[in-house]
């Protein structure tokens, strides 16, 4: 069901994904080794309190036991969503959110990549590799960075996700060369050896003091079917991708991509987009339609995977404190959505993603107050809802709840 484009009262949706901010284990979490995971709840309990007053105003405290963030009537609508697709990685979560439910998980390599893959890669780049094992990105450059500098051999590693990661020092291997090697790996990792993402992981510094840089680049598998972004673009909705969204969707369905190096920059970009003249509309029902799709990655990349409880909490407090400014920039026909793609509980022994529900909070002038959406079966329900809100002709997975949350479905 779609709203007619000329009667659509929502002209802009700002969809913010707090990467890995899960809200409690799904029923099948034990089969993923994630029983007891609860990124937000465990984090707050470990600290004793986690006051997130602005997220509380959106209903976050209704969705989990979060000491310091109590339940209250939400300013808009809130609920949580499960993942129908198998897996618990970034691409799976984002793709399902955009209307693709996978039948089988992306392949992972818990013992490293098989000899025929590594041999093919080494032959193509003309040198051996170091590593070839699952590892933390910061730990493996600490372990092998000095040898890499001496030899020029790239460091290859993976994780619990479906990723082939290549780490190189920027003064040893030029960025352009590292990206070319990633393209070579991407061409090799197909068919039975398919991985979701090949990731360039450049770093700088001296032994004992290596630092990863902001020149990370993902070479992702293109979506297997049209996504919300494809349908949006086809329907004349301007799509702006912030953070790693362009990489996750291989650039498909995106009009404008803005890469960011951290959460702070991502938040500033979102605020800038809300203020930009191109995004302004003069009143409800007028002006171009616009989807801003943003990913804030620090929760996952810097803190979840490193079991950094204090860092994770600081990042949440920073985002929470940014919300009043974001609220103030919303126009009468804007809708703000805050959600996540999976969990990455920094309190449990695991440093991997966790199979969790994710929060869903929706706010804006067009949205009713105090709406409790319960537990949605699939993240794809959000994609179907965004499509209906923006009047997009949509054929992806998901069940829209737009009519449940809108104050009205047409102007006047």
Binding site per annotation, positions for Mn(2+): 19, 300, 305, 341-342, 353
Q: In whole angstroms, give the CA distance from residue 297 to residue 277.
A: 27
Strand-pairing partners, residue 81, are: 358, 376
CA 187, 191, 197, 199 dihedral sign is negative
Question: Concatenated DSSP letters for 297-319?
Answer: -HIIIIIITTT-HHHHHHHHHHH
CA distances from 286 to 290, 366, 406 (A): 12, 14, 18
Known binding positions: 19, 300, 305, 341-342, 353
Torsion, Cα 208 209 210 213, to 10 degrees, reads: 170
Question: What is the phi/psi pair of residue 58, to 5°?
Answer: -90, -5
- Which residue has tokens 């590292």? 178
Whole-number Å distance between alpha carbons of 38 and 346 = 9
Burial class (CB in 10 A: 0-12, 13-18, 19+), 86: middle
- In 3D, which of 72, 19, 67, 73 has the Cα closest to residue 41? 67
> Residue 271 in contact with residue 326, Cβ under 8 Å?
yes
Cβ atoms of 382 and 97 within 8 Å: the answer is: yes
Structure tokens given for 234: 């086809």
């Amino acid at each position: 069901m779609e709203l007619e484009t000329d009667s659509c009262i929502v002209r802009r949706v700002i969809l913010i994904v707090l990467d890995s901010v899960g809200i409690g284990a799904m029923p099948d979490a034990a089969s993923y080794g994630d029983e007891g995971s609860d990124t937000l709840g465990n984090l707050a309990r470990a600290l004793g309190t986690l006051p997130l007053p602005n997220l509380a105003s959106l209903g976050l405290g209704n969705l989990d036991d979060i000491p310091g963030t109590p339940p209250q009537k939400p300013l808009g609508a809130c609920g949580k969503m499960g993942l129908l697709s198998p897996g618990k990685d970034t691409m799976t979560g984002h793709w399902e959110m955009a209307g693709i439910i996978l039948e089988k998980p992306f392949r992972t390599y818990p013992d490293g990549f098989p000899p025929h893959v590594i041999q093919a890669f080494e032959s193509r780049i003309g040198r051996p590799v170091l590593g070839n094992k699952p590892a933390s990105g910061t730990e493996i450059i600490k372990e092998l960075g000095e040898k890499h500098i001496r030899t020029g051999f790239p460091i290859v590693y993976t994780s619990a996700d479906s990723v082939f990661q290549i780490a190189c020092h920027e003064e040893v291997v030029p960025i352009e060369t590292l990206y070319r090697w990633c393209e070579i790996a991407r061409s090799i990792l197909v068919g039975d050896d398919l991985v979701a993402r090949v990731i360039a992981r450049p770093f700088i510094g001296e032994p004992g003091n290596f630092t990863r840089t902001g020149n990370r680049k993902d070479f992702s598998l293109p979506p297997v079917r049209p996504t919300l972004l494809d349908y949006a673009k086809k329907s004349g909705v301007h799509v702006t991708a912030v953070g790693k969204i362009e990489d996750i969707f291989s650039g498909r369905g995106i009009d404008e991509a803005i890469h960011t190096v951290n959460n702070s920059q991502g938040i500033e970009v979102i605020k800038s987009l809300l203020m930009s003249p191109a995004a302004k509309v003069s009143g409800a029902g007028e002006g171009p339609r616009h989807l801003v799709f943003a990913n804030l990655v620090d929760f996952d990349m810097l803190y979840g995977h490193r079991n950094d409880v204090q860092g994770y909490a600081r990042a949440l407090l920073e985002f929470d404190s940014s919300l009043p400014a974001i609220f103030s920039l919303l126009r009468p026909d804007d809708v703000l959505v805050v959600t996540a793609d999976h969990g990455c509980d920094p309190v449990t022994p695991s440093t991997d993603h966790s199979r969790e529900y994710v929060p869903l909070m929706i706010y804006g002038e067009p949205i009713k107050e105090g709406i409790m959406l319960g537990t949605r079966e699939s993240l794809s329900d959000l994609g179907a809802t965004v499509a209906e809100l923006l009047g997009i002709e949509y054929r992806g997975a998901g069940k829209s709840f737009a009519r449940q949350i809108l104050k009205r479905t047409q102007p006047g």
